[in-house]
Amino acid sequence: MTTRIEAVNDFVVKFANVNGSGSASANELFARAILRMGVPVAPRNIFPSNIQGLPTWYEVRVNERGYQGRRGGVDLAVAMNPQTWDEDLKEIEPGGYIFYDSSKPLPTSKFRDDINVIGVPLTDICNSAYTDARQRQLFKNIIYLGALSALLDIEPNEIEKLFAEQYKGKEALLQSNAKALRLGRDYALQNLTCPIGLRVQRAQAVGSKIFVEGNSAAALGAIYGGATVCAWYPITPSSSLAESFIRHAQKHRIDPATSKRRYAVIQAEDELASIGMVIGAGWNGARAFTCTSGPGISLMQEFFGLAYFGEIPVVVIDVQRGGPSTGMPTRTQQSDILACAFASHGDTTPSSSSATVVPCWSAPSAPPRSGLLPPQSSSSSSFRSASSRVGRVVEDRLRLPLTIVRKALCQGLVREREDRHCQQGRVLGAADGDGRHRDAARHLHGAQKGVEPAHRLGRHRDADDRQLGP
């Protein structure tokens, strides 16, 4: 008899699907339902740059302690793609489980002796319940979600609540998805041993955290950091960051009295224009950022030098992808670190950090004039980095171009906002020197606590209370 893995709130599930089959929504519902039961999850969407019909994977680590890194090995494989069957089978841990569509019988040679096989005739169930071909394909994903809810002891009412939120005002879609969920769950309860050795048990390990995709977390961090201007040019995999900033700004950057927008988002004609706009916004007093990927970083090098010598606060969020050249848009790689650390051409002083918070203001002398924040691989670190760097760290303290590099397309948990306070140098006004020689006057006052004094960018030279920026 094959032994089986026994685990509660600590296992890895990997979905192997066909791109374009509509599985992404069902797989995310699976992760969110477990989260709603108070158990932390860390999903990873693994997909190549391809067209409809090629493989894609969605790996979910369930861990009550909140571990988010990929553990290695798979406890339960949901094998929905015959093309990758052999590869998926090899990843399963001894004593693990494979869930598959048993509508078409497979020979015993297609399985392993040391794993547990769970077959559900998904195609037969769909064919008997639906007549439309597209419905059969889409609801097949929800049917396997229902079966998994029974096998893993996931509370079905949590999935139904997610349906209600997703299809609010669309009663027909709500009812049809609930029906498909029941079809899969009922079959599993009536024909299989439920639950299996892997179980989800309600816990209280999530608290006030929210479940968010990494780019969205960085965009939310920019909002918390005070960003009011975003100039960007679409490029995978960073485009969703700017799109998320738009959604967050529409909620949090609207004047409650006048209903006017207190933010500006500009889709530029290319990456060169986008960083140029951000530098202009920074010079005029706005907290501004742009987001891009490796090819965009290459184009922005000259503007990094301009911001460096102008001592203009600029934030660039680089969501890295594989290289060289234009690379692979849906593959992640730490490929831009040197390009960001040594940005621009000559006579610029790079700085980098291996810590979570950039430490370059702790030096006894004036801080470097360019910065690099090392790869952020989780939603939480992306949020903290964007919130602090777009805000006080860069604007009030360092006054330099800074690149935040992200190394993964991830989803995860983000804590409530943590207030962070950064040490500031003296801010000079018109009274500190002749208005005609303000730039020279700045350096006469020396550094305070390792930070050179700075003029208020975006201020009129003869009237420091006149704000030119937003």
Q: What is the pLDDT of residues 352-379, one digit of tens each?
A: 432 222 332 222 333 344 566 655 556 6
- pLDDT for 400: 66
> Which alpha helices (DSSP H) does 290-361 contain, by range?
294-299, 301-310, 337-341
User: Does 92 score more than 60 pLDDT?
Assistant: yes
Q: Is residue 215 part of a domain?
A: yes
Classify the C-alpha dihedral 411-382-206-169 as positive or negative. Answer: negative
241 and 165 in a single domain? The answer is no
303 and 441 in a single domain? The answer is no
Residue with tokens 């992808």: 321
- pLDDT for 134: 80
Q: Is residue 11 part of a domain?
A: yes
169 and 278 in a single domain? The answer is no
Q: Counting beta carbons within 10 angstroms of the beta carbon of residue 190, is it exposed (0 to 12), middle (13 to 18) or buried (19 or more)? A: exposed
pTM of the model: 0.75
Q: Is residue 206 part of a domain?
A: no
Highest mean pLDDT: which range of 54-58, 206-210, 270-274, 284-288? 270-274
Q: Is residue 204 part of a domain?
A: no
Which pLDDT tens digit goes with each residue over 254-310? 999 999 999 999 999 999 999 999 999 888 878 899 999 989 999 999 998 888 888
In this structure, how many other beta carbons lie within 10 angstroms of the beta carbon of residue 420?
A: 14
Q: Counting beta carbons within 10 angstroms of the beta carbon of residue 244, is it exposed (0 to 12), middle (13 to 18) or buried (19 or more)? A: buried
132 and 35 in a single domain? The answer is yes
Q: Please, which pLDDT band fits residue 123 given cuts at 50, 70 and 90?
A: very high
State how far the Cα of 268 lies from the Cα of 276, in Å rounded to an integer: 10
Q: Is 45 helix (H, G, I), strand (E, B) or coil?
A: strand
220 and 181 in a single domain? The answer is no
76 and 183 in a single domain? The answer is yes
User: Does 406 score more than 70 pLDDT?
Assistant: no
136 and 96 in a single domain? The answer is yes
Last residue of a domain, one of 199, 234, 258: 199
- Return the CATH number at 264: 3.40.50.970
189 and 216 in a single domain? The answer is no
407 and 444 in a single domain? The answer is no
DSSP label of 447: -
94 and 156 in a single domain? The answer is yes
Burial annotation 354-363 (CB, 10 A radius, 16+ → b, else e):
eeeebebbee
410 and 431 in a single domain? The answer is no
Last residue of a domain, one of 373, 392, 414: 414
Q: Is residue 101 part of a domain?
A: yes
The count of domains in the chain is 3
Q: Is residue 422 part of a domain?
A: no
Average pLDDT over residues 26-55: 85
User: Does 169 score more than 70 pLDDT?
Assistant: yes
Q: Is residue 160 part of a domain?
A: yes
pLDDT, the chain, mean: 79
What does the DSSP assignment read for 201-266? Answer: ---S--TT-EEEEHHHHHHHHHHHTT--EEEE---TTTHHHHHHHHHHHHHHSB-TTT--B--EEE
User: Does 112 score more than 50 pLDDT?
Assistant: yes
Helix (H) or strand (E) holding 187, with range, is: helix 171-191
Q: Which of 2-11, 150-159, 413-422 shows the lowest mean pLDDT across its residues?
A: 413-422
What domain range is 122 assigned to?
A: 7-199
Average pLDDT over residues 427-449: 50
> What would you measure as the largest C-alpha separation in the chain, in angstroms?
88
